Structure 1
Amino acid sequence: MKHSDPVQGRSLSRRRLLASAATVAAAGLVPRWAMAEDAVANLASDPRRPQFHLLPAKNWMNDPNGPVYFNGKYHMFCQFNPLAAVWGDMSWYHSESPDMLHWTHLPLAMTPTPDSPDSFGCFSGSAIKVGKRVYQVYTGTKLTTPDLATIRDGENKIQESQCIAWSDDPALVKWTKLPEPIIPLPPPGMKITGFRDPSAWKQGDWYYMTVGSGEAEVGGCVLLYRTKKLDDPKSWEYLHKLTSGEWNGKKTANPCDDGEMWECPDFFALDGGHVLIYSTLGKVIWESGHLDEATMTFTKKKTGELDLGAFYAPKTQLDAKGRRILWGWIQEKRSDAEMKVAGWSGMMSLPRVLSLDKDGTLRIKSLPEATRLRGTELPYQETRAGILRTLPKATGEVLCTGGQDATMQLKMSSNQGELLQVTYEPDTHKVLVDGKEIGLEPTDLPSLHAYVDGSVIELIVSDRIGYTKRFYYPGSMAPDIEVHATGSTSVTLTGWKISPISKDRLTTPKFTI
């Protein structure tokens, strides 16, 4: 659960309830999205809303929560404000898909319960399947006294505890919350800077769970717990820090901005090793290494960033084929006032497939099945310097490749100016993306795979790292995007139209009973 906005470097009013908890709870009982006709029309005609990314029908969304493949369907949950297009009243939005590409809205999975551990908000969490039941471990928050507060932001009045809910419903529409936390307090003796975003898995006879945390002026860390019975609060025991980092020494109001707090940790086995993902310093970091199962300690061998742009608080899941799928929150880069006028904020990234090289390097690819969204191939023009393709109305997919010895430059621009510039120099094996440097291995082939959707560019560079960029423009028409590739004769540029996943920009159909 993100407590501030690292992209804009400003505090969001997350401590302010926008309506009573009773009102929020009531909103969760409504199976359809209540929107006035004029609001629907404005949202459906907004060219900046995506056509093939997942997002709620309206209002604010952030972190992906508990994605899970269950009973032949993919279920996505995320942080959601049912009442406004800015942060507040944290609830769990829910949608389902047959293929991770086409989605249907479902009723809200969880909303704050008055006079409970989550009365202030249901923050982020993760899913775990046990037989025919799916559990969601999540962080409940409530207003409290300074001595019990775990969010140390100057006001010190929000207490985080780890909670659990479950569903025996084959469609995962009906959920039951355990009324008391499974872990009510952080370990004693620590000057906690945060205590949230649990993630659970089964290993041998035990269920293990990580929680994002940190210590004041020490650094962020991941706390490790275990139990043999998920929904028994008395059986959970704290083990130790799975791993930890160092504070950067530059005190900020939000400890996530200076490395004193790690958010949204996700720990999983992958291709013979283990990977930890966490968010801090406005970045998403991955670490690969070895888990000693006897001591349950993690030793880092390699590390890097997942994405250099507007991508935060990711969560992974296993798909029907056993692949590790990465989802992330694509943030806005506009003001609260602009988001309120638009009536929506944020979107889910497209699914990305993770793998691990033998040397511990994390690899990232677009979901291969996303080719099903492709329409006709876009026409191209040969220019003096290279190849030009045009994405009509800021929508489409492009793939630019070259040989190991190829020089390469890719530019995207519209009538509003340049949107993206990428260059690759084979002599240094470095890629510059809008001035940000990415080092490649000598064996890496330069490739740039990008999706453009209304107001977002999702770029993956050489299967090594992502770069997610937001762009905005005035008016009611999306501009055409010119994509120009130049460089060696081996450089190729292919492009496709992309089919919308619904008939309008509300993105997904409504759920009906």
Structure 2
Amino acid sequence: MIRIVTVLLIQILLVSCTKESKPLYQWSFNTNKLKSTIEKNTKTVYKIHSNFETPEFVNGIEGSGLRFDGYSTAVTGNLPQPLNTPSTISAWVALETYPNDVASFFSLIEENNNQNWISAGLNQFGKAVITVFIKGNEKHYFSKQIFPKFKWFNVSMTINEDKLQLFMNGVNCLNVLVSDLNSQTRFKELTVGANPKEKYLDNVYPLTHINGIIDEVKIWNTSLEANYFKDFEIADRTNEKVVLAIPKSRFRKDFNRPKYHLLPAANWTNETHGLVYYKGKYHIFNQKNGANVFLGQINWGHFSSPDLVQWTEHKPALSPEEAYDQIGIWSGHVVKDDQGIPLIVYTGGNEKVNGMCLAFPEDDNLINWKKFKGNPVVKGPPKQYSRTDLRDPYIWKEKQYWYMTVGYGIVENGVQKGALLLYKSTDLKKWTYLHLLFKGNPKVDDSGIFWEMPVFWKMKDKCVLAVNPTPHDGKPAINLYWTGDFVNEKFVPDTKLPKKLEVINRLLSPSVAFDKDSNTTAIAIIPDLIPSELHLQHGWAHLYSIPRIWNLKNGEIYQTPHPALIKLRDSLKTFEKVSVNESANFKIGRGHQVEIIAEILPKQSSKFGFYIGKNQKNGEATKLCFDLKKNQLVIDQSKSSQTELVPKRIETGEMNLKNSKRIKIHLFIDGSVIEGFINDKEAFTTRIFPKYFNSNEVEFFSENESIVINKLNFWHLKASNNLTDF
């Protein structure tokens, strides 16, 4: 009994001796200036670096916090007085994504040597890390601790003469012995949200920044114990709600950023995957680097929609881990299993080999997914092939068997050819390689040397096989398709030559599914095709097409806008029986988000079209010209933008409008993207990036003889008001 009482008294004494220690310096981000924040105790001003017009102050753990974008945001400045050891630095953090390289929450730089610094941060898999940079040598010390995403946590580092300690939520997770520190070490400079020494990809993209919110950065001139963090810094604050949605202010003045097309809230995206209608909602997934604006650190992003128009972006469904998919969750497909439940098949790889992997949903909203324990279900290529970069699986069912085709490339008689591998399964988990589903003959069909993103889709009594040949020999990526039949587990095409999905092929990798009314519906990626420097300036890269209806007629895919888009229409202007000749263009209207349906009677004219994004005063304009004599659509972008880095190109595509007495042209303009449809059949896509906001006029022209616009409807379109739920 005496022993128990003694222990209790000791505990009470220890608690009573633990007093709250006032920080020497603290940044709460509640008192800020333009491009700067103010240290609370000394009122010292610290610069906030950002690519955007104003820093993004959002809801923090208490009051305001600072939103870091993953590649440009950082806080830097000298401490009011140098900091001695021992000392402690702490912050509250909420992460949206893990970084593209080892990145720091906070760093302290030594007084007499700017090349010496220490930091606490994490790597691309979320592992806690202390970085010590001494005399030009950088060394990382990793913990097994994984920092969470989409949740508040406290991270603290104590600095003693010979030891660094890292704490997460008051629990010690890393101890590092450092012989270079001593009682004379003094730190003069602080960096928050990025490493003091930056790393770059291609000399353009910064890699060592945090993507999330940081709040309540504090520095003490003493070494605090774990119990202190638990008692005075943490308590139950880890349960505070965090909102990581990109602030609307980030792109408020970006008139080139689309407003009714689907795209992530920020940063890099690439191919769409797995369009599926499930339990009353549409879902689509995407290649996503949420931490930067380049192709790297690839996750599977996720959107859902009740109507194919207004979308909500969710947290990524899948992220890379230190295993078979450590270099990224690459392209794939979503298919419903025999019970009607969606599953994901994706490409996962490490530095040695790619494999096909599975994931299964843990809820009906498809928010949380669990990777299959038996991954990868296909590891590397078949033994007879040496190329290791097989990728992009697509699954379908024939009778009692499941089939999976995978994008690939082979060499036959010294000739490189695009090809598709074919696998077979009864349970979607164990797969057997059969043979090639189909291969190209590039000398005949110009189908390239490697195929990506296959689609194998049945329409009526035919199979449609679509592939993306990769860029080669100066030719860009393009989407090609054949129609044919599945015979003896091989694809037999109706014709030797494939067809192009678009007249001007800026659209790639369609994701295809039935909508709620059983219409074949496709959404695809529309790349920007602009330099890296502009992507970094913009803060976003690429977008997805409007949903399209596919119909198969006489061996060709007919494409039309999905009727769900009608709900975007706002104000309408209608013109009828307008005659236009070469002496004067017809001014239709202006706007950055518009829809046009024009019924044209060519009469004597054989060359006519639209100017889009035009401004007579500054000379910007993109010209869409329909040349009936040459049977070509020519998109002239030589004057589309005064921005120096925007490519000034002319795009040409073949079409068939000769002898047409009536031509229907349907256009969707949304900031920098133009999608067009000709006679409810052929489609084209392009991108424009005008420099000036008022370059938004639309005109119709005829270059020879007169032409009649029988009827033209011009709508301004509303934004789709896409949401983010994290």
TM-score (norm 1): 0.82
CA contact (8 A) 2:468 2:509 kept: yes
CA contact (8 A) 1:397 1:496 kept: yes
- 1:302-344 alpha-carbon deviations (Å, 9 max, x no partner): 6311132432222212211111112111111222122112111
Identity level (%): 24
Aligned to 2:622: 419
CA contact (8 A) 1:28 1:108 kept: no
Matched residues in 2 for 1:510 and 1:17: separation? 22
Letter of the 2:410 counterpart = E
Aligned to 1:173: 367
Cα distance, 1:163 vs structure 2: 0.6
CA contact (8 A) 1:133 1:168 kept: no
CA contact (8 A) 2:579 2:708 kept: no
Matched residues in 1 for 2:282 and 2:604: separation? 40
* Equivalent pairs, count: 464
Cα distance, 1:76 vs structure 2: 1.2
CA contact (8 A) 1:410 1:423 kept: yes
Aligned to 2:125: 22
Single out whichever of 33-42 and 81-90 deviates more from structure 2.
Answer: 33-42
Matched residues in 2 for 1:24 and 1:260: separation? 39
Matched residues in 2 for 1:402 and 1:172: separation? 46
Letter of the 1:339 counterpart = H
Matched, 1:119 2:326: yes
Cα distance, 1:410 vs structure 2: 1.3
SS at match of 1:21: coil
CA contact (8 A) 1:28 1:109 kept: no
Cα distance, 1:490 vs structure 2: 5.7
Aligned to 1:238: 433
SS at match of 1:192: coil
Aligned to 1:316: 512
Alignment of 1:377-392 (within 5 A): 377-378=572-573, 385=581, 388-392=586-590
Matched residues in 2 for 1:60 and 1:50: separation? 15
SS at match of 2:534: helix
Candidates 207, 214, 220, aligned match of 2:402: 207
Aligned to 2:448: 259
- 1:129-156 alpha-carbon deviations (Å, 9 max, x no partner): 1225211111002112xxxxxxxxxxxx
Gapped runs of 5+ residues in structure 2?
1-98, 103-122, 129-145, 153-210, 214-243, 637-650
Cα distance, 1:493 vs structure 2: 2.5
Matched residues in 2 for 1:322 and 1:404: separation? 36
SS at match of 1:333: coil
Aligned to 1:43: 251
Candidates 530, 534, 542, aligned match of 1:346: 542
Q: Against the structure 1 CA distance between its residues 296 and 191, is the aligned structure 2 distance closer, same or farther, given a 3 Å change threshold? A: same
Candidates 318, 329, 332, aligned match of 2:528: 332
Candidates 303, 311, 323, aligned match of 1:95: 303
Larger Rg: 2
Aligned to 2:695: 479
Aligned to 1:182: 377
CA contact (8 A) 1:193 1:214 kept: no
Aligned to 1:294: 488
TM-score (norm 2): 0.59
Matched, 1:305 2:508: no
Matched residues in 2 for 1:391 and 1:368: separation? 24
Matched residues in 1 for 2:447 and 2:491: separation? 25
Single out whichever of 71-80 and 462-471 deviates more from structure 2.
Answer: 462-471
Single out whichever of 63-72 and 324-333 deviates more from structure 2.
Answer: 324-333
Matched residues in 2 for 1:161 and 1:41: separation? 41
CA contact (8 A) 1:193 1:261 kept: no
- 1:64-119 alpha-carbon deviations (Å, 9 max, x no partner): 011111110001110000101122100011111011111111111111011x2111
Letter of the 1:195 counterpart = L
Matched, 1:367 2:562: yes
SS at match of 2:252: helix
CA contact (8 A) 1:431 1:440 kept: no
Cα distance, 1:38 vs structure 2: 9.6
Q: Against the structure 1 CA distance between its residues 491 and 141, is the aligned structure 2 distance closer, same or farther, given a 3 Å change threshold? A: farther
Q: Against the structure 1 CA distance between its residues 119 and 406, is the aligned structure 2 distance closer, same or farther, given a 3 Å change threshold? A: farther
Matched residues in 2 for 1:353 and 1:510: separation? 27
Matched residues in 2 for 1:294 and 1:384: separation? 57
Q: Against the structure 1 CA distance between its residues 27 and 333, is the aligned structure 2 distance closer, same or farther, given a 3 Å change threshold? A: farther
Gapped runs of 5+ residues in structure 1?
1-15, 145-158, 250-256, 503-507
Letter of the 2:700 counterpart = H
Candidates 464, 468, 472, aligned match of 2:681: 464
